[in-house]
Amino acid sequence: MKLEDLISLMKRRRADGLSYSYDRFRVDPAVALLRWPDDALEQFLYDHGDNAAFVDDYGSIDLREITWRLETIPAAAFHGMPTGASDAGCIEEFAENPVYWVGRRPREVGLHWEEHGPWLRPPILIDRHFLDPSDNGLQVVEGRTRVGVLRGRVREGLHVAPHHQAWVARP
């Protein structure tokens, strides 16, 4: 199953607007078949499953082959971690002004960074092997702002935890 196989579901979701809630989406038979954790399902499919650029970047992946794991990753590993080709450079843009981007979020996001040093919601990463069998490492799928803020906070000497959790798609 690939993103294109979910086009009719995504069209229904968009057509119904707010009435097509995440709870309704997650129990659709096609989606439930994946057995993904809610956080990964919401950030990957519900939020972006029909975004043209997202489909360009991740449309070749067989979604049934993904196993999600909540992993703890050193903060340093996020430096230089790429995102999809359609969003190349955006992490660096967010990193240029981390205080601004945190300020655009609810107050508890900023407080959490100050008090604890990581993000509130783990971002979505993918093993680059899915995209190119000869490649390795991880790529940011969703959470580009969060990763940019982390990079910017490190650069500016602001509080950052040494490790952060992320949902990682593995074969």
Q: Does this model's pTM top 0.85?
A: yes
Task: Tell whether 44 and 120 lie within a shared domain.
Answer: no
Q: Mark residue 170 as left, alpha or beta (left: phi above 0; alpha: psi -120 to 50; beta: remaining).
A: beta
Task: Tell whether 116 and 77 lie within a shared domain.
Answer: yes
Task: Tell whether 84 and 108 lie within a shared domain.
Answer: yes
Give mean pLDDT, residues 154-169: 96
Task: Tell whether 129 and 71 lie within a shared domain.
Answer: yes
Among 17, 43, 65, identify where a domain stops: 65
Which residues span the domain enclosing 144?
67-170
pLDDT, tens only, 7-42? 888 888 877 776 678 888 899 898 999 999 999 999
The two beta strands, 67-74 and 124-127, are unpaired
Domain count of the fold of the chain: 2
- Six-digit token string for 132: 């190119």
